[in-house]
Amino acid sequence: MPDRRTTAVLDLSGLDALVEVLRGQGRTVVGPTVRDGAVVLAELDSARRLPFGWGTEVEAGRYRLVPRADGAAFAHTTGPQSWKAFLHPEREKLWSVDRGADGELSVTEERPPQPSYAFLGVRPCDLRAIAVQDRVLAGGRYPDSGYRERRVGAFLIAAECTEPGATCFCVSMGGGPGADAGFDLALTEVVDADGHRFRVRSGSDAGEEVLAAVPHHPDDPATGTAARSAVDAARERMGRAMPPVDLRALLAGSLEAERWDDVAARCLTCGNCTMVCPTCFCTTTEEVTDLTGDHAERWQRWDSCFDLDFSLLHGGPVRASGRSRYRQWLTHKLSTWYDQFGSSGCVGCGRCITWCPVGIDITEEAAALQAETSAGLPHDDREEPRR
Amino acid sequence: MTGVPVPYRVVRTRPETADTVSITLAPAGTAALAPFTPGRFAMVYAFGVGEIPVSVSRIGAGELVHTVRSVGAVSAALCALRPGDRVGLRGPFGTGWELPRAAGRDVLVVAGGIGLAPLRPLVLAALAAPDAHGRPNLLVGARTPGDVLYAKQLSDWAAGGGPLHCAVTVDRPSPTWRGRVGLVTELLNEAWFDPANTTAFVCGPEAMIRATARELVRRGLAPDRVRVSLERNMRCGTAHCGHCQLGGALLCRDGPVIGWDLARDLLTVREL
Ligand code: SF4
Ligand code: SF4
């Protein structure tokens, strides 16, 4: 029997009902909402908490909310957080250990049942970022059990992009503003003379089931056309693009580029880019002991390759210079990630550009490396030694 | 996270040098890790302090030996363990030396300093299967005579009589040192191996690995038959923490033992 995949239309009360149905299933519904001057991701008790009437204006190192007259809920671009904050949380207890009177150790992995999430408003770039983290954290020989439990339980509702930001470049990373796969439901927001509504497509049996429980209208040609043309238009309005070259090869061949000195002179090695990036997964561990000295806990927390201690060996950090740390970040994102996990580590969401305090732009850095490499090519062909 | 540490009991400890201790461990209860092969490592957990990667330096029946040099908080805590104390172990992780892949070839083991620790079980395995290989060689370099690990065993081996060609050299001799002085690569001249039919196993400081591997390739070894063991910061052992990256390699998963054909480029870029 072929899987049923329904396309329908939700009005605003349908969106409300969607959140209610998901909450009724015991899910923690998380979505964008306005807080402290930004669109953040937080638990939603109702669809009314979505950022209706707010858009965003972004540039390298800049982000601000701007009111919108059309009342759209999903017309903002990616904010400072991503879904990894929920699937791969910033801090997580790995195990705890108790030492008995005879010195015996008893180790327990005590993870409470993980929330079963519903993510409302996942951008197509972030859907791809989730797929990237799936490969890293759950796709190898040792799947991360906590991540897998949260991920398997998560219900994903995509929101296709109709308002890309000035720092977005997903199209040049092989993605796009439309969602093709990897979701349970996908929404496309349409606001026009016929009203404010959401074209919805189911992408899984679970999505089909939820959609059936939500009052909806049948798909109609006007909504279908409006939704498709909004997404098509977004594809043409990407704020930025990566240079159209083999980025994996470019970065692999740029380890000694002079551009690293240039960017290192600007980079504060603050690690913001790694914190906001939806695919960055690196963690470190901490040992926490209580006052009795007989109870210890092992915690994992996000770490950044910009931290000096990240590469610490007994002789000191391997990557002591800012140059080597920026090179590690960009080379990992665009090149060595393929070697390690079979894809790029960048989905073109633009967060690292927006949230870099000094406005370092990875598309500009890649273009500069490309310019340096192609400028350098003729030299490689020269026969006589250069002095 | 993947798996929690399995409690192990310290059976005995043995100081090797001023800052290095060998710790013999056996399962504290019924749970035990899967068997190790030479070159692989465990994440060793010191209660209340933390966890570090340590290769196995001997693999016994129901026992594992780790040789630990005190260079940080966790290794210092491990070096201070007494018999009966408990630690936690996760593993085995990483690639091993894979001695069986060297079947039929001469075996050339070159160690620098603490780099001898992960190589010792390989030497023992080669000696235990003498017919599987050509002649085994063990060349050891250390900073000073006081830094030579397993000194008694090495001097027995170096005294000759067995199938192993063993030689030891130091950078800085003490007044009583009567052995060789100089770089470990200088011992290659007397080693018995046919470069066209040899697998080399190299571990030590990166500068020593580089110099040794280059010299071996210069002498005609195929780069992929020079196996080197590399070290980077590691927090998890399961390819999730990102710390052990060296270019495209995650050393806890793709290493620590990799071929010089891959390692060469990675070790020639500074601060990679
Ligand atoms: S590297 Fe930058 S643009 Fe690419 S996925 Fe990460 S944050 Fe987004
Ligand atoms: S690139 Fe920007 S965000 Fe990233 S570490 Fe440097 S200054 Fe911070």
Specify whether the CB–CB gap between B212 and B223 falls below 8 A. no
| Cβ A277 under 6 angstroms from ligand 1 | yes
| Cβ A269 under 6 angstroms from ligand 2 | yes
Nearest-CA residue of chain B relative to A134?
B240
Same domain, B17 and B144: no
Same domain, B66 and B199: no
pLDDT of A2: 54
**Cis peptide bond upstream of A357, omega within 30:** no
Specify whether the CB–CB gap between A16 and A47 falls below 8 A. yes
**What are the φ and ψ backbone dihedral angles of A101, each rounded to 5 degrees?**
-60, -35
Tens digits of pLDDT across chain A (387 residues):
457 899 999 999 999 999 999 999 999 999 999 999 999 999 999 999 999 999 999 999 999 999 999 999 999 999 999 999 999 999 999 999 999 988 999 999 978 999 999 999 999 999 999 999 999 999 999 999 999 999 999 999 999 999 999 999 999 999 999 999 999 999 999 999 999 999 999 999 999 999 999 999 999 999 999 999 999 999 999 999 999 999 999 999 999 999 999 999 999 999 999 999 999 999 999 999 998 889 999 999 999 999 999 999 987 999 999 999 999 999 999 999 999 999 999 999 999 999 999 999 999 999 999 999 988 754 444 344 333
DSSP class per residue in A305-349: TTSGGGGEETTEES--SHHHHHHHHHHIIIIIHHHHHSS-S----
CA atoms in the 13 A half-sphere facing the CB of B14: 15
Nearest-CA residue of chain B relative to A336?
B248
pLDDT of A285: 96
> How far, in Å, CA of B181 to CA of B168, rounded?
9
> How far, in Å, CA of A243 to CA of B43, rounded?
42
- Last residue in a domain, options B51, B74, B93: B93
Among A161, A333, A356, A365, which residue has the most ligand 1 atoms within 8 Å of its CB, making it the best to mutate? A333
Q: In the numeric block, which tokens belong to residue A350?
A: 């633009």
Amino acid at A59: E
C-alpha separations of B204 from A86, A180, A355, B112, B234 in Å: 42, 50, 42, 4, 17
Which residues is A76 bridged to in the sheet?
none
Residues B167-196 as b/e (b if ≥16 CB within 10 A, e otherwise) read bbbbeeeeeebebbeebbbebbeebebebe
Judge: B1–A146 Cβ closer than 8 Å, yes or no: yes
Specify whether the CB–CB gap between B109 and B201 falls below 8 A. yes
Coil/strand/helix, residue B254: coil
Q: Using an 8 Å CB-CB cutoff, list chain A residues near B87.
A: 105
CB atoms closer than 10 angstroms to residue B9: 18
Query: What ranges in B80-150 are assigned the alpha helix state H?
Result: 116-128
Q: Using an 8 Å CB-CB cutoff, list chain A residues near B26.
A: none
> How far, in Å, CA of A22 to CA of A119, rounded?
10
Q: What is the ipTM of this complex?
A: 0.92
| Cβ A352 under 6 angstroms from ligand 1 | yes
- Last residue in a domain, options B76, B93, B110: B93
Domain that holds residue B251: 99-271
CB atoms closer than 10 angstroms to residue A357: 11
Number of structural domains (chain B) is: 2
Same domain, B39 and B133: no
Instruction: Establish if B1 belongs to a structural domain.
Output: no
CATH code of the domain containing B55: 2.40.30.10
Instruction: Establish if B26 belongs to a structural domain.
Output: yes
Q: Counting ligands in written order, which one lies closest to the CA of residue A126?
A: 1
| Cβ A306 under 6 angstroms from ligand 2 | yes
Same domain, B164 and B192: yes
DSSP class per residue in B65-82: EEEEE--SHHHHHHHT--
| Cβ A351 under 6 angstroms from ligand 1 | yes
CB atoms closer than 10 angstroms to residue A238: 21
> How far, in Å, CA of A282 to CA of A379, rounded?
38
Nearest-CB residue to A255 (from B85, B86, B272): B272
Token look-up 């397993």 returns B150
> How far, in Å, CA of A127 to CA of B31, rounded?
40
Domain ranges for chain A, please list them: 7-235, 247-375
Judge: B233–A137 Cβ closer than 8 Å, yes or no: no
Ligand 2 centroid–CA A329 distance in Å is: 10
> At CB < 8 Å, which residues of chain B contact A?
1-7, 28, 45, 47-51, 71-72, 84-88, 231-233, 235-236, 238-243, 245, 247-250, 253, 269-272
Instruction: Establish if B262 belongs to a structural domain.
Output: yes
Coil/strand/helix, residue A249: helix
Same domain, B137 and B51: no
| Cβ A279 under 6 angstroms from ligand 1 | yes
* Of residues A281, A277, A276, A274, the one with CA closest to residue A300: A281
Specify whether the CB–CB gap between B109 and B57 falls below 8 A. no
How do beta strands B63-69 and B136-142 pair? unpaired
Instruction: Establish if B206 belongs to a structural domain.
Output: yes
> How far, in Å, CA of A99 to CA of A294, rounded?
5
Instruction: Establish if B16 belongs to a structural domain.
Output: yes
CB atoms closer than 10 angstroms to residue A67: 8
Q: What is the pLDDT of residues A243-297, one digit of tens each?
A: 999 999 999 999 999 999 999 999 999 999 999 999 999 999 999 999 888 999 9
Same domain, B56 and B106: no
Token look-up 């899987």 returns A3
Same domain, B116 and B241: yes
- Last residue in a domain, options B93, B120, B145: B93
Same domain, B195 and B114: yes
Which residues is B214 bridged to in the sheet?
none
- Does A308 lie at the interface with B, CB-CB under 8 angstroms? no
Same domain, B186 and B223: yes
Same domain, B109 and B240: yes
Q: Using an 8 Å CB-CB cutoff, list chain B residues near A255.
A: 269, 272
Q: Counting ligands in written order, which one lies closest to the CA of residue A360?
A: 2
C-alpha separations of A38 from A80, A89, A274 in Å: 8, 20, 19
Same domain, B89 and B123: no
* Of residues A346, A385, A381, the one with CA closest to residue A366: A346
Amino acid at A207: G
Q: What is the pLDDT of residues A308-347, one digit of tens each?
A: 999 999 879 999 999 999 999 999 999 999 999 999 999 9
Token look-up 């009342």 returns A71
- Does A270 lie at the interface with B, CB-CB under 8 angstroms? no
Judge: B242–A318 Cβ closer than 8 Å, yes or no: no
Q: Ligand 2, atom 8: nearest CA belongs to which residue? A: A270
Instruction: Enter the pTM of the model.
Output: 0.94
**What are the φ and ψ backbone dihedral angles of A220, each rounded to 5 degrees?**
-130, 150
Token look-up 């780099």 returns B115
Specify whether the CB–CB gap between B110 and B217 falls below 8 A. no
Q: Ligand 1, atom 6: nearest CA belongs to which residue? A: A277
Residue ranges of chain B whose pLDDT lies below 70: 1-2
Nearest-CA residue of chain A relative to B50?
A287
Nearest-CB residue to B239 (from A142, A146, A332): A142
Angle between helices A322-331 and A259-266 (to 10 degrees): 110
Same domain, B42 and B21: yes
Ligand 1 centroid–CA A350 distance in Å is: 5
The 3-state secondary structure of A111-152, one letter per residue: CCCCCCEEEEEECHHHHHHHHHHHHHHHCCCCCCHHHHHHHH
Instruction: Establish if B240 belongs to a structural domain.
Output: yes
Which residues is B59 bridged to in the sheet?
B64
